Structures are given as structure tokens and as C-alpha cells.
Structure 1
Amino acid sequence: MDIRKGDVVAWPTNLGWMMGPWLVYASLLNGDSMALYNGSPNSSGFAKFVQDAKVTMLGLVLSIVRTWKNTDCTAGLVWSSIRCFSSSGEASSVDDYLWLMGRAGYKPVIEYCAGTEIGGRS
């Protein structure tokens, strides 16, 4: 996922899903920071946290994106720090990806398929 030293990585997850251990491992291995939020990612609070923490790589599942899109909870926020997004755990959606990319100047989405089944590398 092109994690680089100095990145700020956020991925709403837990240690019971492959992306939780991946977040810890990738952050420590690459000398970047984990942006950890205590609460639901389906809220304007999390969206503001992404802005304020200056997240550079934001990982998510598309159901979160659909919730943001339907509730417009990212309105007025500036995600200019984001260098890329990553998506895993759910089927692709061009419309949802385009909406998400539009929040950060159309930065790319790296789709991470089958990560839960096979593990992954940063």
C-alpha cells in the first residue's frame, strides 16, 4: 500500500480482522504513525479526526464510504493530507470510489483484495 516513513495511517478496524494487525505491523515496520480513533467511523467525528490528524493513507471498507456519502458528514472538511486510500473487505464500487476520491483531490484508491484470506505486506 506504499506506506512510507512519516506517513500517518488510519484504518478503522480491530485486531480480530487482518487489517488490525496489518495496521500495527505496517506502521511500526515503516516508521510511520497510526492514527487511532475511539468511536464509530460512520460519523462526522471520525471524518474530522482524519482531517485534524493529517492522515496520509486512509483505509476503509466501502460501507463506511456509503454512509458518509448518504449522510454528507464529510462536508466542509479538507482532506488535503491524504496521499492515497485503500479499500478491502467488500466488493468494488466505481461510484463510491469516485465519491471518496473526490474528498481528497482525486487521490487514488488501492484496492486490497483477498487480504483477509492470505495476509499481506506493507
Structure 2
Amino acid sequence: MALHGEALAADKPRLARLKLTPEQCITQTKAQSCDMQITLQWQLVHEELICIISDYGARQHWCNDSPEVDRLTLQIETHKDIHFVMISQATHKTLAKAQLTVSSVAAPQVRRRYRNPWSVF
């Protein structure tokens, strides 16, 4: 039964698309934050006014004034993932989502034993 529902969802045409560039930020350590410029670009089947809502503290809400506006560029500084949701201003329904993923390349520190694992005594 679930497969049938998934097939219907796959056949449904997308009314909106939200693209985030870049989608990832890679840091040297977990404590290091990403300081970068991101661009959100969207495509809508029907022209309408939209809002972008995020869990980024410095910029949680943005709305466009004209349907011709199709992108938003932000300067961000974060050390955690940021979720973006595009909603319709008229209906407040979710149209599309995007996520900025923050990850580090630092390998976990391994403690080294200074004495041999075997002993004569």
C-alpha cells in the first residue's frame, strides 16, 4: 500500500523548486564556523509572492515584493546545518525546502599508549 502512495507522489508535478548554492560547507574542525556567501534560487510554476523561512538566527524570515525576484543571496556564518523553507505568502503552504550541511574533516584524536601492550613481569 505504501508503494502505491509513493508512486502517486512521484507522478505529481512539482509546483516549485528551491536550489541552494553551495549545499555544503566543509570545515577543518567541528568548532570552526562557515563564513560564506550562499544563493537561494527558486522556480515556480505559477507566479506568486513567496517567503523564505530558516532556522538561521541572523536571518530567519525574508519575503519578496515582486514575482520577478527569483533569488536571494546571503552572507552567513554558522557552525551547524541551516534549513530553508519556501512558503507561499497567500496560502502559507510549504512549496519547497533546501538545506545547507556543515561538516568537518577533522579525524577524531586517538590516544596513544606509551607502554607496550605486553609485559615481561
> TM-score with structure 2 length normalisation?
0.22
More helix by share: 1
> TM-score with structure 1 length normalisation?
0.22
Structure ranking higher on relative contact order (CA contacts 8 Å, 6+ apart): 2
The higher radius of gyration belongs to 2
More strand by share: 2
